[in-house]
Amino acid sequence: MHRSSYFQSVYKYRSSATNGGFCAPHDAVFQGGFSLVEVLVTLAILSIGLMGLAFLQAQGMQLNTSAYSRTQASILTGDIIDRMRLNSGDAASYDTASFSPNPSSCTVTGAPDADNDRHCWYGHIQETLPSGDGSISVNGSTGVVTVNLSWQERPAGRRDDDFDPGSLTSAELDELRIQQMSMSVVL
């Protein structure tokens, strides 16, 4: 048997077996491959999925930054309360009602000093939290100390290193969210 006639007989057998005994014409059996429309639809679905993943990544990064700021605020609040506990005899001096912060006057000392502690604490707030501010209220009769911190979170799409409220547009300034944390303890 000649080689080409062998392949033709095998081809006819296979096509008749898959088509229920009907021999289809040679052109109808083979498909040329994907059409351009199928490729475009696949690319459109893939690009929508990738854009969704990019959006989720951006949201996750913004929420991570927000959680970092809250953690830092909690650490700063606990720090000043611990300093006040170390210097509990002079706790009333930590009240910031008549306090003018000067972070540059912060010096590292071994002994507790209310004035120095407040300056250092305020300097850490300015370094750690964007547009951060803090206040301490001491109620001498009850011994209740209230520490308040506030800061602004950056608008979506802005990096930490270009966060400057002076460079933001009015629409971006409207997007700024002011966060606050307050903690009250009895010394």
Whether residue 103 contacts residue 126, with contact meaning beta carbons closer than 8 Å, is answered with yes
Residue 117 sits at the vertex; the CA angle it makes with 111 and 119, to the nearest 5 degrees, is 140
Pull the structure tokens for residue 91.
């706790």
Whole-number pLDDT of residue 105: 77
- Give 156-160's long-range contacts (Cβ < 8 A, gap of 24+): 156/58, 156/62, 157/58, 160/65, 160/130
Please give the model's pTM, rounded to 2 decimal places. Answer: 0.64
Residue ranges per structural domain of the chain: 36-186
Residue 91 is which amino acid?
Answer: A
Whole-number pLDDT of residue 73: 92
Whole-number pLDDT of residue 50: 96
Helices and strands (DSSP H and E) totals, the chain:
5, 3
Whole-number pLDDT of residue 30: 57
Query: Mean pLDDT of residues grouped by 10 in the chain (187 residues)?
Result: 57 54 54 78 95 92 86 92 88 82 77 84 89 88 90 67 63 71 82
Whole-number pLDDT of residue 43: 94
